[in-house]
Amino acid sequence: MPLADQIKLTQHNVYILPTGPGLMLVATLVTLLIASINYQLSLGYVLTFSLAGSALVGMFMAHNTLRGLVMDLGSPTAQFAGSPVAMDIRLHNPDKSVRYALILAIKQSQKSKNTLVKTELCTDVPAQGSCSLQLTFTTQQRGLQRLPSVTIETRYPLGSVKVWAYWRPAAQVMIYPRPEANPPPLPLSTDMVSAENRHAEQAQNSADWGAIRSYRRGDPLKQVIWKKAAKADQSGDALVVRIAQPNAQKELYLDINQTGTLSTEARISRLCAWVLEAQAQGLSYGLRLPGLDISPAAGLTQQRRCLEALALC
């Protein structure tokens, strides 16, 4: 099946099969026919054949519900492994009739539990209009990932047939490594630390600390605002620390060799957490990976560059 970010459903990619109730309906029709023959009921024939005709037309209606529908996909935003990725799917209905009861689903096999996880949503698409919905999935794999294939299905109007189509979106989504939950503090070099100390002393006087946030493990104790600590203790809030302004001239090279003796994945996970941390602290940081060196910089662009490098390494 070709990959595409837009798909128009035609009779070539829409499948149709009877459902259980559909077979039950056929059995009902056969029974009604036999009764009509045996009791010679002309009106029974009328009923049986009306029902058969309606069921047949219903089959076409079910097929029409999908045929001619156009689906496309908003490009998915990058996400960390293990967090839900949102697929924004838009459905366009060029026809003058409402399309009812479309069920969109994505199936994912979960290796850990060896099960299929199915996410599905049901929607109507207005006549000559469109609607959008969001299906989410999670993945543990980092890197550039294919989106799972989408199944669109309907049983409208009688539930006697199931009409469905598959869609394999061509778009790929960047999955960053999962950041380590409780990473050790940033590997700040000694000169950086002393610089930071000096800076902190200055800061207490000149108060060029831009913002505050709640305390995280690894925050230097100097940055804790102790005046508020007492209150925080009473009210049960976390300690509050100052965050340096991004303009602070601090440089930090995050190197895969500083991460200790872990497995490669764990190292990458730790680096990922550090990148986030450094970004949060407004530091300027660089990244060294085998065969890759990203020179230090600050800002969101830098963060994205680093995270993508980590995702793909």
Partner 1 sequence: MLSLATPKVFRVINALPRNSRDTLFLLLVIAWLVIPQAAHLPLWCTLLALAVLIWRGILAWTARPLPSRWWLLALMAVTLGSTLISYNTLLGRDAGVTLLVVLLTLKTLELRARRDAFVVSFLGFFCLLSNSFYSQTIFSAITMLIGLLGLLTALVNAHMPVGRPPLLAAARSAGFMTLMGMPIMVLLFLLFPRMSPLWGLPNDAMTGRSGLSASMMVGNIASLALDESIAMRIHFENGRIPPRQNLYFRGPVMTHFDGRRWQASHLEFESRFSETSNLKVFGAPINYEVTLEPNNQPWLLLMDAAIEPPQLSGIKARMQSDLQWQLNRPITDLVRYKAQSYARFQHGPTTFTPGLRPALNLPPGFNPRTLALAKQIRSDPRFRAAGNAELVDLVMDKLRTGGYSYSLEPGVYGTNSADEFWFDRKLGFCEHIASAFVLLMRALDVPARIVTGYQGGEQNSVDDYWVVRQSDAHAWAEVWLEGNGWARVDPTSAVAPGRTGAFQRLIAPRGVVAQTLSNLSPDLQRQLRAGWDALNNGWNQWVLNYTQSKQLDILKNLGFKSPSWEDLGYLLMAIVLLVSALAAGWAQRYRGAQDSWLHLLRKAQQRLRKAGIYDSRNQRASPRQLAETLKSQRDIKEASIKAIYDWLIKLESQRYASASSTTTKLQKKREIRQLNQQFKQLQWPTKKSQSDRKPN
Instruction: Using CB under 8 A, list all residues that contact partner 1.
Output: 10-12, 21, 24-25, 28, 31-32, 34-58, 61, 98, 100-101, 122-124, 155-159
Closer by beta carbon to partner 1, 67 or else 267:
67
Cβ 45 to partner 1 shortest distance, Å: 6
Give the residue from 205, 192, 311 showing the smallest Cα distance to 251.
192
Give the tokens for residue 193: 């630390």
Give CA 126 to chain center in angstroms: 26
Is residue 230 packed enough to be buried (19+ CB in 10 Å), middle (13-18) or exposed (0-12)? exposed
Cβ 52 to partner 1 shortest distance, Å: 7
Closer by beta carbon to partner 1, 25 or else 307:
25
Closer by beta carbon to partner 1, 125 or else 278:
125
Closer by beta carbon to partner 1, 56 or else 193:
56
Cβ 166 to partner 1 shortest distance, Å: 19
Strands 284-289 and 251-255: parallel
Closer by beta carbon to partner 1, 41 or else 70:
41
Give the residue from 179, 174, 181, 178 showing the smallest Cα distance to 312.
174
End-to-end C-alpha distance for the chain, whole angstroms? 29
Quick check: 100 and 35 in contact, CB under 8 A? Answer: no
Q: In what order do the strands lie in the sheet with 161-167?
A: 15-18, 161-167, 150-154, 99-110, 115-125
Cβ within 8 Å of residue 248, ≥6 positions away: 199, 282, 283
At 15, which helix (H) or strand (E)? strand 15-18
Cβ 131 to partner 1 shortest distance, Å: 10
Cβ 155 to partner 1 shortest distance, Å: 6
Cβ 20 to partner 1 shortest distance, Å: 8
Cβ 249 to partner 1 shortest distance, Å: 52
Closer by beta carbon to partner 1, 71 or else 175:
71
Beta bridge partners, 90, equal 72, 132
User: What is the rounded radius of gyration, in angstroms, for the C-alpha atoms of the chain?
Assistant: 30
Closer by beta carbon to partner 1, 54 or else 132:
54
